[in-house]
Amino acid sequence: MTERTAMGAVRASGAGAEIARMLVTLAYVLAGTAVAIAGLGALPRLLAGDTGPHRAASIQEAERRLGARILLPGYYPERLAWPPTAIHVAGGRHGSVRLAFAARDGGTGLELVAATDAGVDIAPALLSDRTVLGARPTAVGGHPATLASVLVEGVPWQELSWSVNGRAVVLRTQGDLDELVRIARSLHGVSGR
């Protein structure tokens, strides 16, 4: 009887090893299928050159998607809520970002749109919803800038555009122009969070 028991144990251990190999193979097949489906899902966007705008849940997520730090103001008025109410990225790696800040009292907010690399224009997808009504030259901290009256989705805004360390920046408000200039002057480089 002991010989039969030993043979049964050998067969059982061989069957267990076979089941383990089958499960490992199944896991590889499922993982490979998931990767292939994800790749095929992204393929149309890549072929069409879809570079945004896409919503990001946080500034950190936007920085991960862009592969770059986002420019933030050193001066931030208490009347504005933090964090941003909407964050959109466009232009792929090292593209651009648009941050929308709401007023705590429900009044006028603020938008910051910026490129993440020096010498690169802001992704057109982040500025496509605006119509320039009029513009005049001005300066921000001694640097040339443009102050414009614009319509964004039919709503009037004041828009200040200039360059910070070579990075294109647009700052918009529906409120106080002095506050806009003060925020603009506080944008002096990459955020130091």
| Structural domain contains residue 191 | no
Q: What is the reported pLDDT for 192?
A: 39
User: How many C-beta atoms surround the C-beta of residue 86 within 10 A?
Assistant: 13
Domain count, the chain: 2
Identify whether residues 43 and 65 lie together within a single domain. Answer: no
Same domain, 5 and 18: yes
Cα–Cα distances in Å, from 50 out to 73, 89, 123? 29, 12, 12
Q: Please indicate, yes or no, whether residues 59 and 46 belong to a single structural domain of this protein.
A: no
Is the domain of 119 the same as that of 150? yes
* 115 phi, psi to nearest 5 deg: -80, 155
| Other Cβ atoms within 10 Å of 148 Cβ, number | 19
Same-domain pairing of 21 and 101: no
Between CA 61 and CA 67 the distance in angstroms is 10
Q: What is the pLDDT of residue 12?
A: 58
Number of H helices, E strands in the chain: 3, 8
Residue 192 lies in a domain: no
Q: Tell me: do 23 and 88 sit in the same domain.
A: no
Confirm if 135 and 162 have CB atoms less than 8 A apart. no
Phi, psi dihedrals of residue 136, rounded to the nearest 5°: -145, 150
What is the per-residue pLDDT for 45?
Answer: 46
Residues 20, 107, single domain; the answer is no
**Is residue 44 in a domain?**
yes
**64 and 114 inside one domain:** yes
| Segments in the chain below pLDDT 70 | 1-14, 35-36, 38-52, 188-193
Tell whether pTM > 0.75.
no
Domain residue limits at 9: 1-50
Short-list 125, 136, 116, CA closest to 190: 116
Looking at the fold, whether 79 and 163 belong to one and the same domain comes out as: yes
> Which residues fall within 8 angstroms of residue 17, CB to CB, at 6 or more apart?
none
Same-domain status, 46 and 104: no
Q: Is residue 88 domain-shared with residue 143, that is, in the same domain?
A: yes
Q: What is the pLDDT of residue 128?
A: 83
193 domain-assigned = no
Pair (70, 129) in one structural domain: yes
Question: Does any domain span residue 171?
Answer: yes
